[in-house]
Structure 1
Amino acid sequence: MSFLLCLACAATAWQDGPRAEAPAAPAAMDVVVAFEEALTGAIARTEGSVVAIHRDKSENAGETLAVRGKPRPRRVIGDEGRPSRPADDVAISFDFGAGVVIGDDGEILTAFHVVRGATRLIVRAAGRQEFDAEVIAADPRSDLAVIVPVAGPGLEPPDLKPMPIGDSSTLRKGSFLIALGNPFNSAMQDGRAAATWGILSNVARRVVYDPEVWPVLGNDPRARQLPHQPMLLQLDSKLNLGMSGGAVVNLKGELVGLTTTAASPAGYDAMAGYAFPMDPAGRRAVETLKQGKEVEYGLIGITQTDSRGELDARPPNRIDGVAPNSPAAQGELQVGDLFLAVDGTPARDFSELLVAVSSHAPGDKIRLKVLREGRELERTLTIAKYPVKGEVIATARPAAWRGLRVDHRSLLSVGVVPFGPAAPEPQGVAVREVEPGSPADKAGLRPWMTIQEAAGRAVDVPADFAKAVADQKGPVRLMTDRGPITVGP
């Protein structure tokens, strides 16, 4: 009893003793001012990294000529090493977009549709800097491209400030985001980007494919939605004409997305804003393009029919077709299997499977879980290379061996070859390019042939071929799908 009495007295004393006053709630205006400071601070730190891009384009341009190493119209240099035509002539152009500086050497990330088909690119940056630029790499599947200032005698390199790249996978619905770009070509006049802000409406938006905006995809049934489905960020910010290729920035001042107004779907959300995300897969693509290299995507070789509708009772994760000699065929997948997960991550429909597989590079291995007749099975598949359609630009390519460049044989499977779709060989690499007059050309090698052996060693991926021929000095015997061919030194 005495113990309980002591506890009661102690509790009473504690209740009657002095209390610390609770902090006063901040005034509403203080909260608004604090948010305004965070918003304006993020804009101030990043707006200098956003540039305006003008494109000169021939009427029926079928090829991008403003590419490093390609001949194109010569530029006229004024007294100060800048284009001689006044900036006002550029400002009234109706062919424009935006870009974001991402590298210390002036690399600028933009949307490919902003620069596709260009004969000349003119960039206006912060401080009224103006310079010509050229493409070093572009990927039609992600609609991303990287351009750099043209270098040469009499040309001073521009003073550009790169923007740090963040991770969009940490964003949540409702995250505050800033969009910076070149609406209505306003930034081409003075190099000052325009800003808008809002919240993230959707972290994985599916957007209907518009054939007029994405003609490069043709009539591919799988292109009914944008190729980077379903990973577009949807913003409630309204992105006007000219915002394509602009920056989506978080309040830390990091690039978390690249705006692509071409993603506006027909029939709904007509003025919604969309952006390519800087998630791990997106950052990998950007870093690859920044190095001037081709972005490679994974392929396993399964298909679904394109006749699914509201009344179709078939599961969305059902395999309807397995391509011959594909990773799926070699992994013994069957029509009717239901795919469940990739490396432990659920894949509930073809879109999620496509994104998971595409995030891997050719040669990677994945664990695919499938359901077959009520039993769960796991198959390990070696990823092949997805045949990207359209104008792939890569100025930093592997060195040719005796005038020969090879690639993954899976490129033979989907319409990349000029003579139409074909079933790739069960083993080997595809001849991608043969330089005219080279030893490979004289030996009779031609594009889209398959090489199964080199110098007596089996080759299955380009890395195998490179190792097999690396130390060869004299004639080298290649076993191809058209018989043995010997390539001289």
Structure 2
Amino acid sequence: MNRIFRTVTSALALGFLFIAAAPAIAEDVVPQSQQQIMLSFAPLVKKAVPAVVNIFTKTRVTQTRPSLFDDPFFKRFFGGNFGPPRQRQKIQNSLGSGVLVDGDGIIVTNYHVVGGADEITVALSDRREFDAHVIVSDERTDLAILKIEVEGESLPYLEFADSDKLEIGDLVIAIGNPFGVGQTVTSGIISALDRSAGLDNEIQSFIQTDAAINPGNSGGALLTMDGRLAGINSAIFSKSGGSLGIGFAIPANLVKAVLTNGLATGRVVRPWLGAVGQEITGDVADGLGLEKPGGVLVNRVHPYSAAYQAGLRVGDVIVSIDDKEILGPETLTFRVASGVIGKTARLGVYREGRLMDLELNLQPAPELPPRDLETLTGRHPLSGAVLGNLSPAYALELGISAFAEGVVVAGTLKGSVAERYGLRPRDILLVVNGEKIVAVEQAKSVLEKAGGSWQISIRRNGRTLSFKVSS
């Protein structure tokens, strides 16, 4: 009995000794050691919360109101000519989060939080509210940059972490406004890196975390333990709409690149490699003499691209950018898009059994040839269509392959002949009366001299469609 008592007493003494030895955390100081982190996240949260904002949007939408006379019974007995359908304006409200990244009122959030909004209101942690306007919006990365006017006041903001240095298992904190209940803090770890979230985004290299993320958290901050911005919370994987421990954040390095390029140019500009390829499987790796699968086997290089200027050729295998391993096409796209226009990057390439480095100038996709938009007139099936010359820059702007060439339908005038024949924006005009179309001026000439009969082929969503018209 005495032995047991002495053992318990010794254990308690050791416990008190451990607690006494644990370092204390000064007020408002970010934790500096693992022991401090285990005690509380409060100092970190207190420092970061003022830089995370709530975002409220209003969007005006027009709805067609159902009418009693639309009922088939009334149409049958009273006819269907009751005038145009009744319409009404409705205000749609939505909410999300954002992060101050500059003391002058620059805020980063998700595109899907503010896209199409007529009014944007930002609420700070101290309950002050400001009207915000969009500086840059980029649907392809799901990022938007907002600005609020603070009249010379310097607001608290978060600095960017180097997201390339994040590791699986690192502790992180998510801050946002889930379900509109107010600012909420959740904690977790980084569960995975370079993940595809299954979203319709060009950039598929997300940070995965098990920190609870719910609707309304979008655009909020994912923080490292030193209080820096690891990423912008963007999406959840859930069948129920609630958190299931799988959330995704856009890496800080991509956010920083979009911010830097956007503020410098006032528009969405990203570096463009100008080369595409396929993932390296085990069989392909064996055939090429590579030690392991990984990288991108280049099968196409655009002649106007930075890749071509750097010396990249079909058959090369891109294995790294600035010594960062390229796992596949998604990683390659992310690494290039995370660069800053005007800088250079070192491209690691495997060619004919040896490794070599190529210097890549990070530059946007060129607009060659110029788009030269023109609305067609005259007596032919494309009258009223707005045509433009395709270039890498214009193709990417339209959301089609940068390698597409020729003439594209940018739009059609309401009620025009082209609209009646079913022409749609992004249709690519291929052939008119057996002649391949490569420029707007040529298309005009061929259509006007046809003599009353037109055989036209277009490409739509990867399919070739043909139709014949005679006057």
Separation (CA, whole Å) in 1 of partners of 2:18 and 2:234: 39
Instruction: Provide the residue aligned with 1:45 in structure 2.
Output: 47
TM-score, structure 2 normalization: 0.58
Displacement, 1:229? 2.6
Q: Structure 2: which amino acid aligns with 1:257?
A: G
**Secondary structure in 2 matching 1:299:** coil
Taking a change above 3 Å as real, the CA distance of residues 242 and 158 of structure 1, as seen in their structure-2 partners, is farther
SS of the residue corresponding to residue 148 of structure 1 reads strand
- CA deviations on 1:10-52 (whole Å, 9 max, x unpaired) are xxxxxxxxxxxx9986259969995465401111122122221
Contact 1:137 1:145 survives alignment (8 Å): yes
Is it true that 1:195 corresponds to 2:170 in the alignment?
A: no
2:92 and 2:62 mapped to 1: Cα distance? 18
- State the TM-score, normalizing by the size of structure 1: 0.56
Secondary structure at 2:119's aligned position in 1? strand
Matches within 5 A, 1:101-180: 101-149=100-148, 160-180=155-175
Structure 1 residue 276 displacement after superposition? 1.6
Deviation at 1:282, TM superposition (A): 3.4
* Equivalent residue, structure 1, for 2:176: 181
Q: What is the rounded CA distance, in whole Å, between the counterparts of 2:238 and 2:281 in structure 1?
A: 19
What are the superposed Cα offsets for residues 78-121 of structure 1, whole Å, 9 maximum, x if unpaired?
xxxxxxxxxxxxxx975110112222222222112111101001
Higher relative strand content: 2
1:184, 1:362 → 2: CA distance? 38
Report the counterpart of residue 447 of structure 2 in structure 1: none
> Cα–Cα, structure 1 residues 257 and 421, in superposed 2: closer, same or farther, change >3 Å?
closer
Map Cα deviations across residues 217-265 of structure 1 (whole Å, 9 max, x no partner).
xxxxxxxxx43332x211111211100011112333322221112x538
- Work out the CA distance in 2 between the residues paired with 1:338 and 1:353: 11
- 1:252 aligned counterpart, secondary structure: coil
Aligned mates of 1:267, 1:321 — CA distance in 2? 42
Q: Distance in 2 between matches of 1:167 and 1:379?
A: 24
State which of 289, 298, 308 in structure 1 corresponds to 2:271. Answer: 298
Task: Provide the secondary structure at the position in 2 that maps to 1:169.
Answer: helix
Any stretches of 5+ residues in structure 1 without a counterpart?
Answer: 1-21, 62-91, 188-192, 215-225, 389-407, 425-480, 483-489
Helix, strand or coil at the partner of 2:296: coil
CA distance in 1, matches of 2:393, 2:262: 20
The residue type paired with residue 411 of structure 1 is A
Q: Which residue of the partner structure matches residue 195 of structure 2?
A: 205
- How many residues matched? 328
Query: What's the counterpart of residue 225 of structure 2?
Result: 251
Matched residue SS, 1:59: strand
Give the match for residue 249 of structure 2. 275
Letter in 1 for 2:259: V
Partners of 2:256 and 2:51 in 1: how far apart?
18
Give unmatched runs, 5+ long, in structure 2. 1-13, 24-33, 64-90, 288-292, 368-389, 407-439, 442-471
Q: Does 2:213 match 1:239? A: yes
Residue type of the alignment partner of 1:173:
I
Tell me which of 192, 204, 218 is aligned to 1:229.
204
**1:157-176 residue CA offsets vs partner (Å, 9 max, x unmatched):** 88843233333333322222
2:299 counterpart residue number: 320
Of 348, 365, 368 in structure 1, the residue corresponding to residue 347 of structure 2 is: 368
1:260 aligned counterpart, secondary structure: strand
* Secondary structure of 1:44 counterpart: helix
Q: Which amino acid is the alignment partner of residue 320 of structure 1?
A: N
Contact map agreement 1:131 1:158 (CA 8 A) in 2: no
Query: What is the Cα-based RMSD across aligned positions, in Å?
Result: 4.4
Instruction: Tell me the distance in 1 between the aligned counterparts of 2:397 and 2:101.
Output: 34
Are the structure 2 counterparts of residues 44 and 173 from structure 1 closer, same or farther at C-alpha, using a change threshold of 3 Å?
A: same
Asked whether the equivalents of residues 180 and 194 of structure 1 are also in contact (C-alpha less than 8 Å), the reply is: yes
Equivalent of residue 354 in structure 1, options 333, 344, 355: 333
Residue-by-residue CA offset, 1:380-429 (whole Å, 9 max, x unaligned): 444441489xxxxxxxxxxxxxxxxxxx97415546499996559xxxxx
